[in-house]
Chain A
């Protein structure tokens, strides 16, 4: 038997085990196979956590892309909290090239200007679509363009008979090629829903779905990038919202109906069963 790549096995396992507890499963896998730690943390999406920016008082979202050790960069103040040691600060803040996020990477001036605008734009997007919640956008430099992540989180008001949490994680690359830019977007939505009520008992419907899209779009100036990424994310979220609706409420319900039929199974089904039994008994 050909050896299976343990990384693929880890992802397969996470795709099978209860998605409500992905973070716990991820920690268990990392304890079994510490070599995979970095790759898994970079590729497995987990529910986002919220922190308040000390400078502006506004909430922002934490992920691997704005993290340096235990510190996180606020998109509103551009500062890490807790502050980084001078010696430990990586990345560049000038016009130099720095590839990749995390480890104290701060985008170049031009990319930070776009990041500021993107945060303003997605703050409006968040209000229009989510009517609440928190959004954060982080950009970083690439050799031939830039990349970023658009994060959105909304939790339902607690106390109702149904509760839910929505996390959107949109990671994109923008490769600049003259007047056109090639965008590659990978989007994950983590959606947890639950209902508790006397006659229903406990019901948990949780999971995550990931989709990708690539597109070449014209760019006049840096504002075009924000508009292009905005449209890509908006279209993707609309598509994924429809998909989630279909899977969570259509597919899940259909499978339950396949397991147990509300009405009594038809005579025809019984005939088929009898036929199967007959065939089964002839095989003995």
Chain B
């Protein structure tokens, strides 16, 4: 693996809200090769588009999304709600050069109604989220993107929820994935990473049908995830190490060191 590949992989693996920390570490580790950091532009772009980076447009308090689905090329992206396009700096994660950008075409009405209804759903369930709906693939399909972030670096944890759905009006299919990424790093490093593929059908083909399907799917997934924590705790975790020996008593170490192997040191359950 080349040095550039190595540092690019670090950028792409940065936990939610910790990109600047990761970049600072990379700079400190590559002082002798300053040209490496200058070559990271493609890695920053990939990270921002895959992680659905959010940015506030100049003069606005509303966060808009960066993704491959609303890219106009040449580092410009657009937002449907504010009917604007903007230049995005992938390294500093800032927007500039805002211009008017009105979507037209076959999916424009579906995009707008989906945007409105998905927006209502998002506001009901996410305290801090950005969302977007975009016509894609030559106006043949519609992409719906939701991203929610919660950063609490003072308490050593950060989290991100990402959903992506592609609606195909020709087949009424809604396909996508939900990904959760949680990082906890107080005196340690613990990471939750999930990826749930979604396949559904929206026969009505309307914005309200799409929003309703997303709402149902995400509720069901969160319920499954909460059950998953319980089954991991009760299953694999419990099976790895007991909280106490079968006798429910701690080991009598003075006996252990005095006894030879195979003898009873814990109330009749010292099995070997």
Contacts and interface: CB of A to CB of B under 8 A. Distances in A.
B111 interface: no
A201 B196 contact: yes
Contacts of B222: 256, 260, 262
Interface string B151-194: 00000010111000000000000000110101111011111111
B247 to A, nearest CB: 8
A238 B243 contact: yes
A191 B125 CA distance: 32
A253 interface: yes
B123 A265 contact: yes
Contacts of B196: 200-202
Contacts, number: 292
Interface in B211-246: 218-233, 235-237, 239-246
Given A127-B271, A253-B226, A207 B190 contact: yes
Interface string A241-284: 11011011101110110111110110001100100110011011
Contact of B192 (A5, A165, A204): A204
Given A255-B157, A262-B223, A16 B183 contact: yes
A16 B12 CA distance: 12
Given A124-B265, A227-B257, A249-B229, A256 B250 contact: no
Name B's interface SS: mixed
Nearest to B128: A259
B219 A262 contact: yes
Interface string A56-91: 000000000000000000000000000000000000
Contact of B229 (A164, A253, A281): A253
Contacts of A209: 187-188, 190
A205 B3 contact: no
Name A's interface SS: helix
A180 interface: no
Q: How extensive is the interface on chain A, given as a class? A: 35 or more
B17 to A, nearest CB: 10
A208 B189 contact: yes
Contacts of B191: 18-20, 204-207
Which of A4, A124, A202, A242: most chain B Cβ within 10 A? A124
9 tightest Cβ-Cβ pairs between the two chains A and B: A207-B190, A201-B196, A209-B188, A280-B61, A164-B236, A9-B28, A227-B253, A28-B6, A128-B245
Interface of B: 1, 3, 6-7, 9-10, 13-15, 18, 21-22, 24-26, 28-31, 59, 61, 123-127, 148-150, 157, 159-161, 177-178, 180, 182-185, 187-197, 218-233, 235-237, 239-246, 250-251, 253-254, 256-258, 260-261, 265-266, 269-272
Given A165-B240, A195-B231, A199-B220, 14 more contacts: A13-B26, A13-B29, A124-B265, A127-B272, A200-B228, A202-B194, A203-B193, A203-B225, A204-B191, A208-B189, A209-B188, A241-B243, A247-B190, A260-B161
